[in-house]
């Protein structure tokens, strides 16, 4: 079930009412309602999908108990490695089977062994990477002694399948989020109201910004060999705004929805396009995934404890794995490697933590010229990376970039971008003004009449551009 569907607008009030009618003191009933609601939410499109969530939940719940009860470090290690193998096996089968078999066939043909086998027809469960990483992260935290294994299966099942985060995250840390399912939850009207505001902002970004940018970006990328270089640059920028508005819009809806049910949800995006270098970008983009890879891949590989060159190799490995996490295509690996190479000079020069102050340009209304230049340069590099991310093949991405860099008067497509820019402008203006807040509609000291005027305008804009059939980009990951 997608957030931007009529079914969701009927489902959410029903789940909300049942959850709070169960009573703040009846935690077990609240968790049971969340489990049922989450399974209905996930099984809305295909009834088989909840079975995979249930299997993942039971497997990692049991494995964590096994780790805690193991009598030796060797036994704990066996359980932990078994969790990693299970997660990789599930992702490898459902997400990467055809990618690996095609790669094996190419390798065999390269040494003169002709092979041919049909592609497997495997259902790719929406959001599988998100809930597998969520449950695996829990088991790894227990293995490394960062938390105790829970004995409350219902609470863990509700955490693993929590419907706002099920399809595209955030990938909440079990250490931070699971305890909220183990304790009492009481309705907080102020938090719920702010959650509604955040959801409205997310719907605006999806319906008005992402959906307006998508047609032009798709046309330019599909016909890049006929587009003029300025149009190619425009297409890269449009896709940058599309994917940000689409994914951060989803995260805003998910985070706001979580607050309706009494949860303190983690922030997944912090105005990444205002970043002043690539290191800052990755502290602000898809924060939950970046944190997951740092804790469960980068640090176990040695992190930065063994010198800068070891830290560099670990960083490049994490970026490549992060790219592959996004899908079974070499374009994603190239995208990850590109960002790793951009990150490398900052790491080697010790400049990767220059911008950790949280708020870009401090409390000033406008950035300094040097800050503005850094932001524009970083955004341009990010757009180059998005070309690899969105292209069908690495060859297409290289061709796209080569054509964009040469022959500025060649070609041209009939592309209408007139409807894109007002939504992008509103999004950037609001997020710049509210860049120190948790989301764009955090009301603060706005007068009441101006708040309600803004809510009404955004709501009308969302209804005017509403597309029920449009899915979120990150559902495929």
Q: Which tokens is 218 given? A: 């798709």
> Are 378 and 428 a contacting pair, CB within 8 Å?
no
- Of the candidates 24, 58, 423, 287, the residue with the CA atom closest to the CA atom of residue 431: 423
List the domain boundaries for the chain.
Answer: 6-187, 190-276+355-476
**CA gap 328, 33 in Å, rounded:** 35
Dihedral of alpha carbons 94, 95, 101, 104, sign = negative
Residues in the chain: 477
Cβ neighbours around 458 below 10 Å, total: 22
pLDDT digits (tens, 9 = 90+) for 57-69: 999 999 999 999 9
Show Cβ contacts of residue 134 under 8 Å, excluding neighbours closer than 6 positions: 159, 160, 165, 171, 172, 174
Q: How far apart are CA 467 and CA 340, in angstroms?
A: 36
The Cα–Cα gap between 79 and 86 comes to 10
Quick one: pLDDT at residue 345? Answer: 93
Of 438, 319, 337, 450, which Cα lies nearest the Cα of 384?
337
Angle between helices 49-69 and 27-43 (to 10 degrees): 130
Active-site annotation holds for 326? yes
The tokens describing 279, both together, are 């290191």
363 Cβ contact partners less than 8 Å away, ≥ 6 residues apart: none
**Sign (positive or negative) of CA dihedral 76, 78, 82, 85:** positive
- 350/347 Cα distance (integer angstroms): 5
Tokens 């796209």 — which residue? 400
Catalytic residue among 19, 286, 326, 355: 326
3-state secondary structure string across the chain: CCCCCHHHHHHHHHHHHHHHHCCCCCHHHHHHHHHHHHHHHHHCCCCCHHHHHHHHHHHHHHHHHHHHHCCCHHHHHHHHHHHHHHHHHHHHHHCCHHHHHHHHHHHHHHCCCCCCCCCCCCCCCCCHHHHHHHHHHHHHHHHCCCCCCCCCHHHHHHHHHCHHHHCCCCCCCHHHHCHHHHCCCCCCHHHHHHHHHHHHHHHHHHHHHHHHHHHHHHHHHHCCCCCCHHHHHHHHHHHHHHHHHHHHHHHHHHHHHHHHCCCCCCCCCCCHHHCCCHHHHHHHCCHHHHHHHHHHHHCCCCCCCCCHHHHHHHHHHHHHHHHHHCCCCHHHHHHHHHHHHHHHHHHHCCCCCCCCCCCCCCCCCCCCHHHHHHHHHHHHHHHHHHHHHHCCCHHHHHHHHHHHHCCCCCCCCCCCCCCCHHHHHHHHHHHHHCCCCCCCCCCCCCCHHHHHHHHHHHHHHHHHHCCCCCCCHHHHC
Please tell me the predicted confidence (pLDDT) of residue 17.
94
Please report how many Cα atoms fall inside a 13 Å half-sphere around the Cα of residue 31, on the Cβ side.
Answer: 20
* pLDDT at residue 239, rounded to an integer: 96
Digit-coded pLDDT (tens) for 67-100: 999 888 899 999 999 999 999 998 888 877 766 6
> Closest Cα to residue 266, out of 297, 241, 291?
291
Q: What parts of the chain have a pLDDT lower than 50? A: none
pLDDT at 254: 95
């Amino acid at each position: 079930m997608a957030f931007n569907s009529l079914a969701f607008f009927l489902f959410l009030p029903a789940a909300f009412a049942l959850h709070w009618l169960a009573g703040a003191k009846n935690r077990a009933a609240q968790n049971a309602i969340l489990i049922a609601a989450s399974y209905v939410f996930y099984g809305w499109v295909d009834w088989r999908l909840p079975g995979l969530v249930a299997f993942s939940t039971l497997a990692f719940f049991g494995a964590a108990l096994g780790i805690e009860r193991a009598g030796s470090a060797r036994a704990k290690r066996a359980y932990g490695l078994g969790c990693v193998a299970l997660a990789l096996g599930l992702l490898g089968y459902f997400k990467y089977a055809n990618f690996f078999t095609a790669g094996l066939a190419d390798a065999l043909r390269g040494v003169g062994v002709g092979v041919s086998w049909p592609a497997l027809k495997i259902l790719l469960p929406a959001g599988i990477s998100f809930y597998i990483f969520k449950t695996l992260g829990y088991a790894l935290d227990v293995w490394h002694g960062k938390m105790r294994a829970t004995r409350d299966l219902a609470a863990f099942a509700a955490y693993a399948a929590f419907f706002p985060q099920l399809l595209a995250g955030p990938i909440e840390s079990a250490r931070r989020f699971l305890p909220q399912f183990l304790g009492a939850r009481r309705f907080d009207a102020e938090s719920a109201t702010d959650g509604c505001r955040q959801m409205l902002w997310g719907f605006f970004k999806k319906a008005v910004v992402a959906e307006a940018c998508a047609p032009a970006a798709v046309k330019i990328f599909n016909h890049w060999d006929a587009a003029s270089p300025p149009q190619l640059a425009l297409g890269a920028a449009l896709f940058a705004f599309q994917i940000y508005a689409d994914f951060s819009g989803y995260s805003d809806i998910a985070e706001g929805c979580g607050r309706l049910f009494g949860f303190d949800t983690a922030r997944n995006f912090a105005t990444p396009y205002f970043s002043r270098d690539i290191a800052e970008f990755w502290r602000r983009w898809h924060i939950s995934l970046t944190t997951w890879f740092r804790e469960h891949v980068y640090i176990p590989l040695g992190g930065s404890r063994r010198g800068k060159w070891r830290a560099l190799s670990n960083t490049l490995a994490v970026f490549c794995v992060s790219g592959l996490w996004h899908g079974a295509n070499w374009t994603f690996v190239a995208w990850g490697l590109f960002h790793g190479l951009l990150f490398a000079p900052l790491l080697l020069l010790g400049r990767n933590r220059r911008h950790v102050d949280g708020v870009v340009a401090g409390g000033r209304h406008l950035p300094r010229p040097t800050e503005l230049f850094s932001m524009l340069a970083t955004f341009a590099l990010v757009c180059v990376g998005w070309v690899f991310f969105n292209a069908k093949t690495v060859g297409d991405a290289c061709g796209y970039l080569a054509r964009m860099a040469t022959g500025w008067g060649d070609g041209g497509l009939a592309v209408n971008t007139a409807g894109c820019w007002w939504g992008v402008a509103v999004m950037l203006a609001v997020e710049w003004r509210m860049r120190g807040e948790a989301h764009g509609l955090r009301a603060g000291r706005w007068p009441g009449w101006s708040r309600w005027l803004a809510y009404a305008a955004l709501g009308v804009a969302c209804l005017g551009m509403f597309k029920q059939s449009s899915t979120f980009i990150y559902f495929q990951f």
